[in-house]
């Protein structure tokens, strides 16, 4: 039964007011999505910029003014595959194909940022891209092209990741080391100005860590196959084998790196040089089929004894956990199953690391490889990760001595050698470590120890001097000029700084805010976006004006007849798109101009010669 609406007999008070949180109907402009209160920067909340930190492996996205990213995701999907690498195809056709695939992946990632992660309209948001100083130009061009032409953003700004990381800790001067996925880059910054000419880099980074971890697990790890269906199951010893290569995917290796690995203390100098001075004696080499730890290991702690006897690794209280702890280290596989290449060298390293490792082994549940029969019905397999691998895989990042692949400590000291002398003390006392790889537990304290070891005097040379008539040549000391900086070497975000040796070290050591090293560049970008100082801004109008394709199209249409247009379009489709010069890039800046050119004019007046030096700014007359 329907009711008839009645007219109210009394007048209601009408108070006109403007709603503070209502959205405009039919418009793409909406309120800020991250302000939970009614207080906002602007009326419509569109001044909050989009901060994107596009790494080769992981992207971090969010709004300016926030203290953490909205979402952190793998750009290559769940497979944890990097979007680009350090190498590029040399053939033009292969390179063009790689660029097209890269454009597709970048477009998918950028659309996911706006439509899935942030739920905002890209046409109403300015974007700040946090770029690495060594970001390839074609990737930078592709990011700008997709943002302007596909997503129609109003403007894009590119800001240095090292500078933004320094701003996040409240400083404008310091030496920043970014240890990322593809490479580690050390960049000095003075008064908010990056000194790009003193930049130093090394490929020892996250990708090298994963490659080394894969090699060690293939040689020394153990894979326990799942139980067979039936009443009687085979024992664990019969199901143990070498780790199959198809199991160690990038996703599994990233999981092991982030949840299992850490950085151990520095080895003793006498033991760390054993691999260089010669092979370890036979009596100290542990056989590969021995399961018990060497007798030289330190005694087990009470917690380690509590897990003794649980060889299966699956107890009642650890059934629901993906990891379980076992007491004795196991070396996977039989000797005849291991690859012959580099086995002797890796075995020597394994014996040395096992003597200096107290970490316990871990078990990781993984899906069995597809090559095994009935793998879908057998459940999960188990990968046994030796404790010394968890602790000593990061040693590859601290091994120096190579000209092209210096250690992390060496590139920091090389950058200090390149800066002016009067800036060395200031930069050495303000070292900042950022990047996802630096989040390994114990990474920053170990790096401080490696800095002191690299800058210390080298050991005396054992080379015999054969010329008695001449004095022996001086020993090469690479960092002798930096040795007075030892009391001032300080890492500002060191979680456990050592005892300070100077006032500078006391005032700077460990004083940085407790931001995560992996998100520090994004936090700096969020701060810069809130302060409207996001670097050089490139608007969409400026991008359209600098389009080289329009000029080439007009020229080709005027010079080529109509029947040849199809051939011109096909030839242009096989060419790499031209670069635009509107994007800021420090590699395209001209070198600083030296002294102006001069012209020397010699004249003779009254028997005396006079020389006039003419320069663009002044004239000087010198009499001789």
Q: Is the pLDDT of residue 140 over 50?
A: yes
> What does the pLDDT look like over 352-408, one tens digit per residue?
888 888 889 999 998 887 776 554 556 788 899 999 999 999 999 998 777 778 899
Average pLDDT over every residue of 287-302: 34
* Tokens describing residue 232: 């009687």
Separation between Cα atoms, residue 318 and residue 298, nearest integer Å: 26
Average pLDDT over every residue of 57-65: 93
277 or 403, greater pLDDT: 403
Separation between Cα atoms, residue 161 and residue 123, nearest integer Å: 25
Give pTM, 2 decimals.
0.73
Q: Is the pLDDT of residue 24 over 50?
A: no
Separation between Cα atoms, residue 163 and residue 65, nearest integer Å: 17
Rounded mean pLDDT of the chain? Answer: 75
Cβ neighbours for 144, distance < 8 A, ≥ 6 positions apart? 156, 538, 543, 580, 583
What is the structure's pLDDT at 238? 73
Separation between Cα atoms, residue 424 and residue 12, nearest integer Å: 75
What is the structure's pLDDT at 388? 92
Across the beta sheet with 608-614, the strand order is 599-605, 608-614, 619-623
Residue 434: phi and psi, rounded to 5, are -130, 175
Q: What proportion of the chain, given as a percentage, has pLDDT over 90?
A: 39
Using alpha carbons, select from 350, 334, 422 the residue that is nearest to residue 388. Answer: 350
What is the structure's pLDDT at 233? 64
What is the structure's pLDDT at 622? 38
Average pLDDT over every residue of 453-481: 79
Within 10 angstroms of residue 62's Cβ, the number of other Cβ atoms is: 27
Average pLDDT over every residue of 249-264: 92
Which SS3 state, helix, strand or coil, does residue 458 take? coil
Angle between helices 408-418 and 443-455 (to 10 degrees): 60
The confidence band for 459, taking pLDDT boundaries of 50, 70 and 90, is confident
164 or 536, greater pLDDT: 164
Average pLDDT over every residue of 203-229: 88
Average pLDDT over every residue of 257-283: 61
C-alpha distance from residue 514 to each of 120, 175, 597 (Å): 30, 18, 53
> What does the pLDDT look like over 322-359, one tens digit per residue?
444 433 333 444 444 444 445 677 778 788 888 888 88
521 or 354, greater pLDDT: 521
Average pLDDT over every residue of 284-298: 33
Using a 10 angstrom Cβ sphere, with 0-12 exposed, 13-18 middle and 19 or more buried, the burial of residue 564 is exposed
What is the structure's pLDDT at 519? 94
What is the structure's pLDDT at 351? 82
Separation between Cα atoms, residue 225 and residue 222, nearest integer Å: 10
The confidence band for 280, taking pLDDT boundaries of 50, 70 and 90, is very low
Separation between Cα atoms, residue 538 and residue 81, nearest integer Å: 30
Alpha helix positions (H), 50-152 = 92-112, 137-145
End-to-end CA distance of the chain: 120
The confidence band for 551, taking pLDDT boundaries of 50, 70 and 90, is low
């Amino acid at each position: 039964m329907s009711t008839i609406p009645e007219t109210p007999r009394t007048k209601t008070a009408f108070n006109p007011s403007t709603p503070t949180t209502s959205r405009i109907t039919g418009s793409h402009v909406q309120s800020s999505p991250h302000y939970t209160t009614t207080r906002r920067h602007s009326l419509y909340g569109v001044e909050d910029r989009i901060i994107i930190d596009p790494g080769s492996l992981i992207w971090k996205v969010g709004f300016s003014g926030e203290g953490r990213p909205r979402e952190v995701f793998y750009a290559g999907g769940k497979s944890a595959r990097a979007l680009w690498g350090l190498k590029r195809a040399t053939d033009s056709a292969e390179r063009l194909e790689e660029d097209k695939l890269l454009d597709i992946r970048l477009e998918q990632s950028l659309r996911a940022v706006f439509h899935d992660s942030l739920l905002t309209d890209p046409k109403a948001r300015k974007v700040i891209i946090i770029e690495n100083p060594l970001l390839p130009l074609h990737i930078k061009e592709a990011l700008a092209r997709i943002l302007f032409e596909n997503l129609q953003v109003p403007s894009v700004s590119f800001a240095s990741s090292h500078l933004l990381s320094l701003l996040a800790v409240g400083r404008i001067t310091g030496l920043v080391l970014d240890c990322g996925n593809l490479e580690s880059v050390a960049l000095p910054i003075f008064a908010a100005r990056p000194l790009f000419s003193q930049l130093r880099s090394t490929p020892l980074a996250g990708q090298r860590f994963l490659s080394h971890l894969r090699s060690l697990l293939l040689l020394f790890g153990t894979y326990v196959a799942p139980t067979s269906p039936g009443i009687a199951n085979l024992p664990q010893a019969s199901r143990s084998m070498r780790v199959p290569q198809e199991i160690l995917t990038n996703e599994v290796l990233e999981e092991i790196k982030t949840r299992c690995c850490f950085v151990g203390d520095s080895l003793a100098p006498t033991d760390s040089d054993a691999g260089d001075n010669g092979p370890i004696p036979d009596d100290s080499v542990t056989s590969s089929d021995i399961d018990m730890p060497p007798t030289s290991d330190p005694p087990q702690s009470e917690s380690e004894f509590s897990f003794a006897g649980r060889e299966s690794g699956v107890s009642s209280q650890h059934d629901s956990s993906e990891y379980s702890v076992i007491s004795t280290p196991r070396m996977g596989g039989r000797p005849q199953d291991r690859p012959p290449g580099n086995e002797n060298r890796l075995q020597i390293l394994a014996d040395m690391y096992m003597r200096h490792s107290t970490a316990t082994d871990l078990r990781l549940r993984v899906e069995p490889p597809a090559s095994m029969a009935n793998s879908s019905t057998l459940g999960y397999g188990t990968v046994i990760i030796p404790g010394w691998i968890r602790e000593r895989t990061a040693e590859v990042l601290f091994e120096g001595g190579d000209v092209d692949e210096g250690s992390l400590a060496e590139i920091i000291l090389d950058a200090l050698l390149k800066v002016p002398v009067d800036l060395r003390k200031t930069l050495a006392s303000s070292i900042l470590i950022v990047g996802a790889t630096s989040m390994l537990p114990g990474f920053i304290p170990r790096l401080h120890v490696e800095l002191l070891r690299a800058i210390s005097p080298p050991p005396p040379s054992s080379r015999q001097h054969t010329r008695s008539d001449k004095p022996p040549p001086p020993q090469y000391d690479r960092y002798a000029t930096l040795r007075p900086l030892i009391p001032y070497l300080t890492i500002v975000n060191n979680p456990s700084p050592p005892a300070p040796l100077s006032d500078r070290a006391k005032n700077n050591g460990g004083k940085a805010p407790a931001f995560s090293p992996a998100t520090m560049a994004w936090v700096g970008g969020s701060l810069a976006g809130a302060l409207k100082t996001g670097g050089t801004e490139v608007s969409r109008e400026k991008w359209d004006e600098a389009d080289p394709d329009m000029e080439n199209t007009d020229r080709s249409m005027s010079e080529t007849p109509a029947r040849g247009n199809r051939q011109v379009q096909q030839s242009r489709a096989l060419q790499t798109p031209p670069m635009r010069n509107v994007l800021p890039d420090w590699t395209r800046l001209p070198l600083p101009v030296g002294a102006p050119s001069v012209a020397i004019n010699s004249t003779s007046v009254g028997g005396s010669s006079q020389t006039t030096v003419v320069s663009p700014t002044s004239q000087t007359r010198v009499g001789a």
